Structure 1
Amino acid sequence: MIAAMMTAANLGARLTGWGFVVFTVGSLGWATVGLSSGQTNLLATNCFLTLVNAVGIWRWLGRQRVYEDGGKSASQASRRAAAPSLFTATGLAGMPVVDSVGDRVGKAVEGLVECATGEISYVVVASGPPTGIGEALRAVPRQAIRFGCDFLALDMPRNLFDAIEPLDGGDWPVKVVLDHAS
């Protein structure tokens, strides 16, 4: 159960990878039980799960960790350098979003990038309770967002953000235009 919570929480490569380590300990334990009790189905199943967990460890504590560490190091170094400050594109999801007076309105869940230009077209912002139950997703055009290193700031008051029509499930728009008449 602990391993399942560690991997399901998706709180970064290290925590997810260590979740797979916990899974591996469990699958090796059950494989040992299967071997010592002659339960070949239990043994075979847990040998397979151990292989799957090994792939998870390699992916999350190996390759994915290197990606995250590289992005973090570039981001941190850019804040101390004469170069423009950077943040990772994958770091956009989960960034807090504040309104024009600095009050938290939610978090970014995705940024949609135009293929031809490579520029962000709009950011989907989730607002509502932290559990995600009853949250509303709104598409905010790039022109209405200022990017900080640790947060996104809306260039609009909260009432204009709240007036943006919530998205309908997985049916997101191709283009977003902000209606300032609201």
Structure 2
Amino acid sequence: MIAAMMTASNLGARVTGWGFVVFTLGSIAWSVIGLSSGQTNLLATNGFLTLVSLIGVWRWLGKQRAYEDGDKSATEESRRSASPTLSTASGIAGMPVTARDGTSIGKALEALIACEDAALSYVVIASSGVGGIGEELRAVARADLTFAGDSLKLRREAAWFQALPPLADGDWPPAPE
């Protein structure tokens, strides 16, 4: 159960990777029980789960962790410069968003990029709700946002954001309204 929570929470490569380590240890333990008790189905199933979990460890603690470390190092180096110039695109999801008046709006869910020039078109921001239940999604144009390191700042008041129409499930606009 702990491994399932670690992998399902999507808290980054390290947490997910360690979730797969826990899965690996569990499947090895069940394989030993299957082997010692002559339960070949238990042994075969958990032997396969061990293989899948080891692939997860390699993927999340190896490759994905290295990707995250690379984008973090570029971003941090940029922040140490006189005028920061970089923020990771993958890091936009989950960034907290505050309004000009300091009111917490919610979290960035996704960033949509224009195909023509690869410029950021808009960011979908999730507000209200807990764990995706009861949340409302709204599209905010790039021009209405400022990147502030590990967060986004809305260039407008919270009331302006609340007046935006919520997005329908699975029906996002081709451009911000």
Q: Same fold (TM over 0.5)?
A: yes
Q: Is 1:49 aligned with 2:49? A: yes
Alignment of 1:129-148 (within 5 A): 129-148=129-148
- Whole-angstrom CA distance in 2 between matches of 1:77 and 1:43: 49
Partner of 1:157: 157
Q: 1:153/1:81 Cα in 2 relative to 1: closer, same or farther (>3 Å)?
A: same
Q: By how many angstroms is 1:130 displaced?
A: 3.7
- Whole-angstrom CA distance in 2 between matches of 1:131 and 1:115: 31
- Whole-angstrom CA distance in 2 between matches of 1:4 and 1:150: 27
Of 149-158 and 56-65, more deviation after overlay is shown by: 149-158
Q: By how many angstroms is 1:143 displaced?
A: 1.2
Partner of 1:25: 25
Q: By how many angstroms is 1:30 displaced?
A: 0.5
3-state SS in 1 of match to 2:7: helix
- Matched letter for residue 89 of structure 1: A
| 8 Å CA contact 1:16, 1:60 repeated in 2 | yes
Q: Is 1:13 aligned with 2:13? A: yes
- Whole-angstrom CA distance in 1 between matches of 2:38 and 2:81: 62
- Whole-angstrom CA distance in 2 between matches of 1:154 and 1:83: 20
Of 14-23 and 83-92, more deviation after overlay is shown by: 83-92
Alignment of 1:107-122 (within 5 A): 107-122=107-122
Of 29-38 and 82-91, more deviation after overlay is shown by: 82-91
- Whole-angstrom CA distance in 1 between matches of 2:23 and 2:88: 29
3-state SS in 2 of match to 1:124: strand
3-state SS in 1 of match to 2:91: helix
- Whole-angstrom CA distance in 2 between matches of 1:5 and 1:149: 28
Q: By how many angstroms is 1:131 displaced?
A: 3.0
Count of residues paired in the alignment: 177
Q: By how many angstroms is 1:82 displaced?
A: 4.1
| 8 Å CA contact 2:18, 2:61 repeated in 1 | yes
> What TM-score, normalized to structure 2?
0.96
Q: By how many angstroms is 1:10 displaced?
A: 1.0
Q: By how many angstroms is 1:129 displaced?
A: 3.2
3-state SS in 2 of match to 1:92: coil
Percent of aligned pairs with the same amino acid:
60
- Matched letter for residue 26 of structure 1: G
- Whole-angstrom CA distance in 2 between matches of 1:115 and 1:134: 31
- Whole-angstrom CA distance in 2 between matches of 1:47 and 1:131: 34
- Whole-angstrom CA distance in 1 between matches of 2:158 and 2:173: 22
| 8 Å CA contact 1:13, 1:65 repeated in 2 | yes
Gaps of 5+ in 2: none
Gaps of 5+ in 1: 178-182
Q: By how many angstroms is 1:83 displaced?
A: 5.8
- Whole-angstrom CA distance in 2 between matches of 1:139 and 1:176: 6
Partner of 2:63: 63
| 8 Å CA contact 2:92, 2:110 repeated in 1 | yes
Partner of 2:101: 101
Of 84-93 and 63-72, more deviation after overlay is shown by: 84-93
Q: By how many angstroms is 1:85 displaced?
A: 3.3
